[in-house]
């Protein structure tokens, strides 16, 4: 637990060029001293965590049999109340770490918010709320969770809060701060504070400033947990400013973040050939669901129209869309209403698409980190997947080289035939 010794002024005064922070706390190996632990499942069951029987029942309903490595490493620490920084590959079950430990420890008091979880994008906030709902369903007294994010009229949020304050607030920083500032949301009883995909929130100045302001509205003594698939040393230092003696768990650390089960290929082509090649790929390759990333909203819209015209079950989701529509499409895609999703960087990280086994970088992302997050949308939770990147400019080629170097992978040219059993789980 973060005790009274946290220096809140220090946090508030933090600026980009603050260098005197925990310099000695350099990147560690995994918390248990193991190096480059591969992602896998452990034989120990959830029962060994001594979770409440209501949670074990929900876990059974959801169908989790064994904790994943990140759950094995982090749930006991989180349940114990330690502050926690956790870096683990996308899709390996980080959400359940904080959801289960919070539901285990929370004592819901009506009229009080006990927990705040901040997420960088609205869809993620909605997704995290749903995970809470799935796990909390047998708890008695009941726990209520609500998601607050932009794009929905703030008036609707105020109404929700007037009708009954949720015990767990999940949200994006902008909206949570707005509701807090105007007094609709009171965070003075918060005991758990979580940043999901923390690097994305802490690396942008605007979001970081919102996160800090929200943090300062919560009491000093609380448990702080932060999660991400990628964490630079710089971001780790910032994370630690919010915490007291955090436990640090780095599974598949830094450059070694491996994407086991994921096959990665590139395709050299001209910009003008992209549409034709894409349609050929979709026609010729077996897949469950596919996500196609493009660099701008207009390109996403145009591509969706083109694929729909060819009768391919495609939907687009981007940031300039009405929020309700965005969430609706996102959830329906997860429920298999469509097989192809065209999107921008917006859904590049965190989104949990269980059935997606192909990711196409129609346009290459801006950096290695975004590449890693994007391709992590395929092959979630140790399943297989395929990532194909279209290379049409020198910048694309340079980034591909950098990806191979930093992630220590060999990305080969897309062959004419790929055996579906190598990327489809039977």
Q: Considering the complex, what minimum distance in angstroms separates the CB of residue 235 from ligand AMP?
A: 19
Closest to ligand AMP by CB, 91 or 173: 91
Closest to ligand AMP by CB, 9 or 53: 53
Helix (H) or strand (E) holding 317: strand 314-317
Q: Considering the complex, what minimum distance in angstroms separates the CB of residue 369 from ligand AMP?
A: 17
Q: 4, 221 in Cβ contact below 8 A?
A: yes
Closest to ligand AMP by CB, 27 or 354: 354
Closest residue to bound ligand AMP by CB: 93
The pair of three-digit structure tokens given for residue 292, joined into one six-digit string: 């196609």
- DSSP string for 318-343: -TTS-HHHHHHHHHHHHTTS-SEEEE
Closest to ligand AMP by CB, 66 or 144: 66
Q: Give me the count of residues in the chain.
A: 426
Q: Considering the complex, what minimum distance in angstroms separates the CB of residue 375 from ligand AMP?
A: 15
Phi–psi pair at 223, nearest 5 degrees: -95, 130
Closest to ligand AMP by CB, 265 or 381: 381
Closest to ligand AMP by CB, 91 or 171: 91
Residue spans of alpha helices (H) in 36-121: 53-62, 69-80, 94-105
Round to whole Å and give the CA distance between 316 and 292: 9
Closest to ligand AMP by CB, 304 or 352: 352
Cis peptide before 141 (omega within 30 of 0): yes
- DSSP string for 148-196: E-TTS-HHHHHHHHHH---SEEEE-HHHHHHHHHTTSS--TT--EEEEE
Closest to ligand AMP by CB, 229 or 300: 229
Closest to ligand AMP by CB, 226 or 294: 226
Q: Which sign does the torsion angle of CA 75, 79, 80, 81 carry?
A: positive
For the chain, the distance separating the N- and C-terminal CA atoms, rounded to the nearest angstrom, is: 44
Q: Considering the complex, what minimum distance in angstroms separates the CB of residue 90 from ligand AMP?
A: 6
Q: 149, 122 in Cβ contact below 8 A?
A: yes
Residues that bind ligand AMP (CB under 6 A): 64, 66-68, 71, 91-96, 352, 354, 380-381
Q: Considering the complex, what minimum distance in angstroms separates the CB of residue 56 from ligand AMP?
A: 13
Closest to ligand AMP by CB, 133 or 186: 133
């Amino acid at each position: 637990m973060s005790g009274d010794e946290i220096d809140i002024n220090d946090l508030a005064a933090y600026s980009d060029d603050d260098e005197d922070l925990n310099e000695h706390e350099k990147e560690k190996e995994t918390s248990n001293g193991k190096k480059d632990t591969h992602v896998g499942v452990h034989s120990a069951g959830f029962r060994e965590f001594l979770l409440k029987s209501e949670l074990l029942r929900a876990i059974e309903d959801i169908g989790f049999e064994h904790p994943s490595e990140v759950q094995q490493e982090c749930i006991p620490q989180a349940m114990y109340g330690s502050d926690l920084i956790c870096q683990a590959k996308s899709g390996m079950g980080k959400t359940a770490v904080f959801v289960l430990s919070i539901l285990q420890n929370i004592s819901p008091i009506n009229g009080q918010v006990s927990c705040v979880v901040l997420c960088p994008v609205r869809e993620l906030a909605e997704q995290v709320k749903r995970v809470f709902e799935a796990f909390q369903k047998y708890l008695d007294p009941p726990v209520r969770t609500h998601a607050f994010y932009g794009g929905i009229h703030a008036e609707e949020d105020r109404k929700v809060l007037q009708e009954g304050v949720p015990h767990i607030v999940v949200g994006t920083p902008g909206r949570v701060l707005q509701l807090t500032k105007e007094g609709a949301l009171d965070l003075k009883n918060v005991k758990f504070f979580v940043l999901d995909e923390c690097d994305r929130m802490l690396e942008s100045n605007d979001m970081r400033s919102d996160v800090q302001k929200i943090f300062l509205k919560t009491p000093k003594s609380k448990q702080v947990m932060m999660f991400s698939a990628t964490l630079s040393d710089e971001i780790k230092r910032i994370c630690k400013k919010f915490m007291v003696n955090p436990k640090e768990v780095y599974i598949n650390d830094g450059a070694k973040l491996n994407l086991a089960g994921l096959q990665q290929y590139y395709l050299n082509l001209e910009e003008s050939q992209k549409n034709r090649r894409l349609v050929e790929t979709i026609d010729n390759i077996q897949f469950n669901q596919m996500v196609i990333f493009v660099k701008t909203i207009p390109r996403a819209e145009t591509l969706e129209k083109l694929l729909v015209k060819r009768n391919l079950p495609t939907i687009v989701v981007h940031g300039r869309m009405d929020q309700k529509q965005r969430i609706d499409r996102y959830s329906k895609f997860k429920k298999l209403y469509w097989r192809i999703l065209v999107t921008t960087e917006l859904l590049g990280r965190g989104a949990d698409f269980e059935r997606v086994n192909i990711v196409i970088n129609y346009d290459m992302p801006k950096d290695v980190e975004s590449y890693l997050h994007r391709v992590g949308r395929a092959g979630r939770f140790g399943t297989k997947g395929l990532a194909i990147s279209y290379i049409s400019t020198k910048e694309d080629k340079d980034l591909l080289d950098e990806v191979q170097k930093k992630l220590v992978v060999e990305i080969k040219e897309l062959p004419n035939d790929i055996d579906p059993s190598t990327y489809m789980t039977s």
